[in-house]
Structure 1
Amino acid sequence: MSDDPRADVTGGVTRLTGHAEPIWAVATAQVAGRPVAVTGSYDETLRVWDLTTGRQRGEPLTGHTDEVLAVATAVVDGRAVAVTGSADRTVRVWDLAGGRQLGDPLGHAYGVPAVATAVVDGRAVAVTGSADRTVRVWDLTTGRQVGRSMCGHTGPVWAVATMEVGGRPVAVTGSYDETLRVWDLTTREQLGRVLTGHAGAVRAVATVVLDGRPVAVSGGQDETVRVWDLAGGRQLGRPLTGHDGWVLALDTVTIDGRPRIVSGGEDQRLLLWDPATGGRVGEPLTGSTDKVRAVTTVVVDGRPHVIGAGQDGTVRVWDLTVGGPNRLRTGR
């Protein structure tokens, strides 16, 4: 693969290349008023892409000594930062405008494949999940762990997402133990019962508000996507089936005021779902030539976009309002 970062645009799909190895993670942020995507790769680097121009912003961010497995973004003291988890057992914080690492690495006993961000008691925090089976909360201003580690999973924690439930910030974690758990980020206590139903490791978690209630969405090695009522602690409806292989990545997006789930996985496709009905929306988003390992969504120039990345080392950005049969046309 070329080391010259570049973008190809065809039929509403932008293809960004530059990483030398598979991409494991992608997140979005606003830097200097412009939407960017932040990607983490097996090549141990972080890259920042301007989603308006399709060009890489600055040089790759280096410092990790093993694969970058997870990326999340936040605003800390008025500046956009990325938080990364790596197989090198560290969590690192990066100034996206300045293109540099902030502070010292934070750490787990084993690799860190799950990172999310939240605001707890007015402070920006990172929530990390590790192969050491723990979930930890980090103050992004001080660089210190907040309270004790959250323990309960009996397998590596592979996925984490955050949201508010009943006015309090919570984290939802998915694990190789085939379960999801919900944690109060203020007290760091587990909330409710363990969510069970997956018949394989939970590889991805996202959150969304559906009809006024907070829900989690999970995907895993059983090839299903599942929707969970977080207030009631139960699964909603039947598993969503359609992927031919493990579900490795999830996110949610609002289109025309309606929430949608976006899932990607081993079958190289991204599928969109209506969580209210459990039905598929539109045709699959295709073009990836290997496993889709990371998915996120973003609005660029008022239009919803889906970003997918993975094993083929490329980032693809689908404009959902442009192109042929596998696009959604808003306003209809």
Structure 2
Amino acid sequence: MAGGRLDDPEWLVRADPAEVLAALEGAADRPEVSAAAVYRASSSLHQYLGAGVRRQVLALDAARLGNAGFGARIAGVDVAGEPPSRWTVDWATGALFDPRIRLVIADPASPLACVATAVVDGRPVAVTGSATGTVRMWDLATGLPVGDPMTGHTDDVWAVTTAVLDGRPVAVSGAADGSVRRWDLAAERSTGILIAGVDGKGVVAVATGTVEGRPIAVAGNGKVIRAFDLATGEPMWHVVCAGSFPAQHALATAVVDGRPVVLTDGADGGVEGRMVVVTGSGDETVRIWDPATGLPVGEPLTGHTDCVTAVTTAVVDGRPVVFSGSFDGTVRMWSAATSTEMAPAVFFPEMVGAVAVAPGGQLLVGFDRELACLSPR
């Protein structure tokens, strides 16, 4: 018998994984059966994780199995030598565990390629793109879909971002067919193609911002990053990235020290135009570049151990922050002003392909076929 330990968050986090695994079959009641399911979800990983990382993965798996309350208790466990967990998992899709959710996700065999956030009719939502060529919205409070999938692209949607245009929430998406589309989120429809194709290559990154009061969108493929008027689609400028690796996998905008910047992750390359490029990808780093000088701002942001696949920005405690996600299964939080890491990495049991920050400070993470929503503790 497990002796009442299986539903004890402190024991699950701190105990030797071999001891916990041996006790799982002895679950004595419903809470212990539920806790055993949480531990089994990533049981192949626990023996390789320290208690601090195991705490975070167990909290995530509890939410994936519909027990976010138990996950919050797990996240609150103290681990010797580790700082308190910064994030609580509000919900996670759990498509790998619950067959009902497989019916909700348009293509459960395809990983979520991108995620962004917006407020539509007063409701905070996540906006995602998938390999079905669709864009759709999710209620951040419940994790349930909002409306039907929005169609228009003819190939995989690789990138999505959001903005407000003339007082209405809009999304901008880029796809493998080389097109960039704008969407009216309140009306749940496409408002047309902004770019029909970029050099015949798929668009892997999009972002929005404002330059001298003019709303702009930025789109990137393997080597070129283009800026254009968000309202009209009129081209504005472009950046050509050099180097042997793909130029970028993700794109975001921010303001650092009063300067508008564009943040991407990709390979080291030249910089042209009025923008900042944050490079990474091949060398597993994230870099911020000053467009006025073509020189890097600060030191490379190091810590990832695989390709950086997603980046987004936010203002945290009054400071510009970069969040980056990687194939190494982590999300990292960096100071855009000082190029230093601000908190321990958040670990996920699969590769991270998308990261976004909601207006309320929630962190949206797409990992493999799953989507999770985390709140600061």
Same fold (TM over 0.5): yes
Q: Note the 1:311-330 alignment, pairs <5 A.
A: 312-321=368-377
1:295 alignment partner AA: V
1:268 alignment partner AA: G
**Aligned equivalent of 1:23:** 112
**Aligned equivalent of 1:290:** 350
Q: In 2 relative to 1, CA 225–105 (structure 1 residues): closer, same or farther, beyond 3 Å?
A: closer
**Aligned equivalent of 1:152:** 240
Q: Deviations over 1:72-131 (max 9, x none)?
A: 111122211111000011111111111111124632222111211123454433221224
Q: Residue 316 of structure 2 is aligned with which of 255, 262, 268?
A: 255
1:65 Cα deviation from its structure 2 partner? 1.6
Gaps of 5+ in 2: 1-63, 73-87, 96-104
Q: In 2 relative to 1, CA 135–228 (structure 1 residues): closer, same or farther, beyond 3 Å?
A: closer
CA RMSD of aligned residues (A): 3.1
What is the TM-score of this pair, normalised by structure 1? Answer: 0.72
1:221 alignment partner, SS class: helix
Q: Deviations over 1:308-331 (max 9, x none)?
A: 113x2111111121xxxxxxxxxx
Q: In 2 relative to 1, CA 135–277 (structure 1 residues): closer, same or farther, beyond 3 Å?
A: closer
Q: In 2 relative to 1, CA 262–141 (structure 1 residues): closer, same or farther, beyond 3 Å?
A: closer
1:225 alignment partner, SS class: coil
**Aligned equivalent of 2:216:** 125
The aligned length equals 278
Does residue 86 in structure 1 map to residue 175 in structure 2?
A: yes
**Aligned equivalent of 2:366:** 309
Which deviates the most, 258-267 or 152-161?
Answer: 152-161
CA distance in structure 2 between the aligned counterparts of 1:170 and 1:225, rounded to whole angstroms: 14
**Aligned equivalent of 1:37:** 126
1:116/1:161 contact within 8 Å kept:
yes
CA distance in structure 1 between the aligned counterparts of 2:247 and 2:113, rounded to whole angstroms: 15
Q: In 2 relative to 1, CA 179–262 (structure 1 residues): closer, same or farther, beyond 3 Å?
A: same
Q: In 2 relative to 1, CA 180–320 (structure 1 residues): closer, same or farther, beyond 3 Å?
A: farther
Q: Residue 103 of structure 1 is aligned with which of 181, 184, 192?
A: 192
Q: Note the 1:200-279 alignment, pairs <5 A.
A: 217-229=278-290, 233-274=294-335, 279=340
1:171/1:182 contact within 8 Å kept:
no
1:173/1:182 contact within 8 Å kept:
no
1:267 alignment partner AA: D
1:296 alignment partner AA: A
**Aligned equivalent of 1:62:** 151
CA distance in structure 2 between the aligned counterparts of 1:35 and 1:47, rounded to whole angstroms: 13
Q: Deviations over 1:199-247 (max 9, x none)?
A: xxxxxxxxxxxxxxxx764432212233445555433444333222222
1:114/1:157 contact within 8 Å kept:
no
Q: Deviations over 1:163-201 (max 9, x none)?
A: 56897856456655x2252523xxxxxx7xxxxxxxxxx
1:313 alignment partner AA: R
1:57 alignment partner, SS class: strand
CA distance in structure 1 between the aligned counterparts of 2:180 and 2:327, rounded to whole angstroms: 27
1:140 Cα deviation from its structure 2 partner? 3.2
1:134 alignment partner AA: V
1:47 Cα deviation from its structure 2 partner? 1.8
Which deviates the most, 82-91 or 122-131?
Answer: 122-131
Does residue 50 in structure 1 map to residue 139 in structure 2?
A: yes
2:373 alignment partner AA: V
1:223/1:241 contact within 8 Å kept:
yes
2:160/2:172 contact within 8 Å kept:
yes
Which deviates the most, 29-38 or 220-229?
Answer: 220-229
CA distance in structure 1 between the aligned counterparts of 2:340 and 2:147, rounded to whole angstroms: 41
2:254/2:313 contact within 8 Å kept:
no
CA distance in structure 2 between the aligned counterparts of 1:284 and 1:173, rounded to whole angstroms: 19
CA distance in structure 2 between the aligned counterparts of 1:118 and 1:257, rounded to whole angstroms: 19
Which has the larger helix fraction? 2
Q: Deviations over 1:271-326 (max 9, x none)?
A: 2234566554443322x3321111121242xxx2221113x2111111121xxxxx
1:165/1:231 contact within 8 Å kept:
no
CA distance in structure 2 between the aligned counterparts of 1:19 and 1:32, rounded to whole angstroms: 24
1:89 alignment partner, SS class: coil
CA distance in structure 1 between the aligned counterparts of 2:256 and 2:366, rounded to whole angstroms: 30
1:111 alignment partner AA: G
